[in-house]
Amino acid sequence: MPRWFSARRLVAGIPALWLTVFFLVPFLIVLKISFSEARLAIPPYAPFLTWLHGLPVPGIHLSGYAYLFTDPLYLRSYLYSVMVAAVSTLMCLLIGYPMAYAIARSSETWRNFLLMLIVLPFWTSFLLRVYAWIGLLQNDGLINEVLLRLGLIHHPIILLQTDFSLYVGIVYSYLPFMILPLYANLEKHDTALLEAAEDLGARPITAFLRVTLPQSVPGIAAGSLLVFIPVVGEYVIPTLLGRTDQIMIGRMLSDEFFDNRDWPVASGVAILILLALVVPIVLLQRVERRNLETAK
Amino acid sequence: MRRRGLFSRTALVLGLVFLYVPILSMIVYSFNNSRLVTVWDAAHSPTLKWYGVLLSDGEVLDAAWLSLRVAVCAATASTILGTLAGTALARFGAFRGRSLLVGMTTAPIVMPEVISGLSLLLLFVALEQAIGWPQGMGALTITLAHISFCMAYVTVVVQSRLAGFDESLEEAAQDLGARPAKVFWRITLPLILPAVLAGWLLAFTLSWDDLVISQFVAGPGSSTLPMVIFSKVRLGVSPDVNALATLMVSVVASGVVVAAVWMRHRQKRRERDAQLAAAANL
């Protein structure tokens, strides 16, 4: 057998090869097409290399990007998406932290049961759970019905296709992604430290702010990134629950591709989303690696 | 002390209510006779009408069958690939290209789906132009696309399970003369089997549930179940979707109950074995 052949190389090599073909190369293609020009052809973009006097000439066009930067529609949608992601991350943190804390401090039998309750919705269809909110939030939906019956409002209030319904949908869908890493972190805390702080006369709130909160930073970081990154490019929730006058960037990409059939612009949007996410993704890998190392 | 516990516990209860009210509302309204999803028609409810409508809808049934085939294939392939990758990352120490493999197995988990979908479609188009394969979009391209993002999850699950075990058992087997392949089949695989099974189930669920990536790489005439649901829901609320949701929740819930009972049974048996062993030693 040749020297380069070994079982170890095969074990690492097969998945690496697969991911290279189906994950890495596709990105290079997106990058390539984003620098191409839209054509009325199949596929609808200009070829990367054209032949001139027998020599290959790379055709680099910035028309797609020029379009993205001159039309304020894209910039607004981009900033809106980043803002929605940041606000929903904060909301998930504020709701998820006390929940994770309560689970981490509960007795062992309860803990597994509660964790299962957090994870269970994750195993049922994401799309159907978002759909459920349409039924709850629409004008003749359950929430308006209850508010009317209680006499708190006299006309149904418009909840669907607002920022409110968008945030409800996102927080609802991504809350488990915040709670699980927070729980994993909080569960490892040594309660002796907290008791020591209280024995020394710290009030519970001070003990929490000075002892528990600083220790849980890795959990907060992991959870926040796991929510923030996918929400920036979220497509389903804004389409079903979000505003119609302000669309998010993921929807923009899809519309450019399917409705306008402008592949270079759609690829350009994808590259811009990725640029916004490079820093958070690298941060996430660092945090995860450190969390894995401290777990050992 | 007690007051702080009270605050976080209240938050936990309210949070769980928030997580479960939408699911429960779908279950309740699936038995409602009225077309208006949220108006309870007390005179004719509960009814199984919408289950009948759902199960006689050929489009839904075809899509469910396609989703099932895709999910089984994608879950199986991604479990094999993910187990290999997880083993390499947890057991091979430092090797050339390790950080690239780490990056490529963690990035798909957080990658916005629109980007994964777009890039895979462009790959398939380019491949078809270059080598004439795959011919058109359909079940094959959906399955290939699903394998790629599902295997990332399996890798993480398997890797963290392996990180929880030290290598002493494997080293012992090796010292006793077992070849690496035998060590893997007889020692490593049985140890990580729960993680491999969990990875398969996770991959199956992710594939079964995926809408965005499928929408990009599906051709005309190959609609998965989430695609059919999405187009129904975009046209307006339709009550048979509640029935479908109820069926899916029931399957998941009964699966979880069976798994919990099985695990408790296994744990009890293990405790009994330990007691017997202890008694035999006396």
Closest chain A residue to B217, measured at CA? A258
Computed over every residue of chain B, the mean pLDDT equals: 88
Per-residue pLDDT at B230: 94
Per-residue pLDDT at A235: 94
> Above pLDDT 90, what percent of chain A?
45
Per-residue pLDDT at A190: 81
Residue pLDDT, tens place only, A145-173: 889 889 888 888 899 899 999 999 999 99
> Above pLDDT 90, what percent of chain B?
43
> Nearest-CA neighbor of B126 among A58, A257, A30?
A30
Per-residue pLDDT at A203: 84
Question: Quick one: A31 exposed, middle or buried, by C-beta within 10 A (0-12, 13-18, 19+)?
Answer: middle
pTM of the model: 0.89
- Residue A56: what are its φ and ψ, rounded to 5°? -75, 135
Instruction: Give yes or no for a contact between B148 and B206, defined as CB atoms under 8 angstroms apart.
Output: no
Give me the helices (H) in chain A, please: 7-19, 25-34, 63-70, 72-104, 108-123, 126-137, 142-149, 163-186, 191-199, 204-207, 213-215, 217-232, 236-241, 249-258, 263-295
pLDDT value at B1 more than 50:
no
Question: Quick one: B34 exposed, middle or buried, by C-beta within 10 A (0-12, 13-18, 19+)?
Answer: middle
Per-residue pLDDT at B132: 83
Distance of alpha carbon B275 from its chain centroid, rounded? 37
pLDDT value at A250 more than 90:
yes
Give the separation between CA B181 and CA B164, rounded to whole angstroms: 21
Give the separation between CA A78 and CA A66, rounded to whole angstroms: 15
> Nearest-CA neighbor of B21 among A164, A111, A168, A231?
A168
Residues of chain A neighbouring B120 (CB-CB closer than 8 A): 22, 26
CB atoms A239 and B15 under 8 Å: no
Per-residue pLDDT at B209: 93
Closest chain B residue to A173, measured at CA? B19
Residue B33's pLDDT band, with cuts at 50, 70 and 90, is confident
When mean pLDDT is compared across A147-156, B10-19, B158-167, the lowest value belongs to B158-167
Among the partner residues A12, A33, A114, nearest to B101 by beta-carbon distance: A12
3-class SS of residue A50: strand
CB atoms A230 and B107 under 8 Å: no
When mean pLDDT is compared across A38-42, A121-125, B1-5, B112-116, the lowest value belongs to B1-5
Give the separation between CA B78 and CA A48, rounded to whole angstroms: 33
pLDDT value at A61 more than 90:
no
CB atoms B163 and A295 under 8 Å: yes
Per-residue pLDDT at A142: 85
Most A CBs within 10 A among B87, B122, B257, hence the mutation to make, goes to: B122
Distance of alpha carbon A112 from its chain centroid, rounded? 26
Question: Quick one: A58 exposed, middle or buried, by C-beta within 10 A (0-12, 13-18, 19+)?
Answer: exposed
Among the partner residues B9, B119, B215, nearest to A26 by beta-carbon distance: B119
| A-B contacts (CB, under 8 Å) | 252
CB atoms A99 and B15 under 8 Å: yes
The dihedral built from the CA positions of residue A196, A197, A203 and A205, taken in this order, carries a sign that is: negative
- Partnered with residue B82 across adjacent β-strands are none
> Nearest-CA neighbor of A262 among A29, A27, A33?
A33
Residue A59's pLDDT band, with cuts at 50, 70 and 90, is low
Higher local confidence (pLDDT), A114 or B219: A114
**How far is A276 from chain B, CA to nearest CA, in Å?**
12
Residues of chain B neighbouring A21 (CB-CB closer than 8 A): 123
CB atoms B230 and A134 under 8 Å: no
Higher local confidence (pLDDT), B191 or B142: B142
pLDDT value at A294 more than 80:
no
CB atoms A98 and B230 under 8 Å: no
pLDDT value at B4 more than 60:
no
CB atoms A235 and B144 under 8 Å: no
Closest chain B residue to A168, measured at CA? B18
**How far is A164 from chain B, CA to nearest CA, in Å?**
15
Closest chain A residue to B80, measured at CA? A15
CB atoms A14 and B84 under 8 Å: yes
Residue pLDDT, tens place only, A21-33: 999 999 999 998 8
Instruction: Give yes or no for a contact between A113 and B29, defined as CB atoms under 8 angstroms apart.
Output: no
Give the separation between CA A100 and CA A224, rounded to whole angstroms: 14
Higher local confidence (pLDDT), A2 or B160: B160
pLDDT value at A1 more than 50:
no
| Degrees to nearest 5, angle at CA B242 with B236 and B248 | 130
Mean pLDDT within B183-199: 89
ipTM: 0.86
Other C-beta atoms lying within 10 Å of the C-beta of residue B11: 19
CB atoms B122 and A33 under 8 Å: yes
pLDDT value at A103 more than 50:
yes
Residues of chain A neighbouring B215 (CB-CB closer than 8 A): 254
Closest chain A residue to B1, measured at CA? A204
Per-residue pLDDT at A120: 87
| Degrees to nearest 5, angle at CA B203 with B202 and B204 | 90
Tokens read off for A70: 């001159």
- Residue A51: what are its φ and ψ, rounded to 5°? -100, 125
Residue pLDDT, tens place only, A185-230: 998 888 888 888 888 888 888 888 888 898 899 999 999 999 999 9
pLDDT value at A269 more than 60:
yes
Residue A50's pLDDT band, with cuts at 50, 70 and 90, is low
Give the separation between CA A145 and CA B40, rounded to whole angstroms: 11
CB atoms A281 and B107 under 8 Å: yes
Residue B133's pLDDT band, with cuts at 50, 70 and 90, is confident
Residue B246's pLDDT band, with cuts at 50, 70 and 90, is very high
Taking 3-state DSSP, the helix, strand and coil percentages for chain B, each rounded to the nearest 5, stand at 80, 0, 20
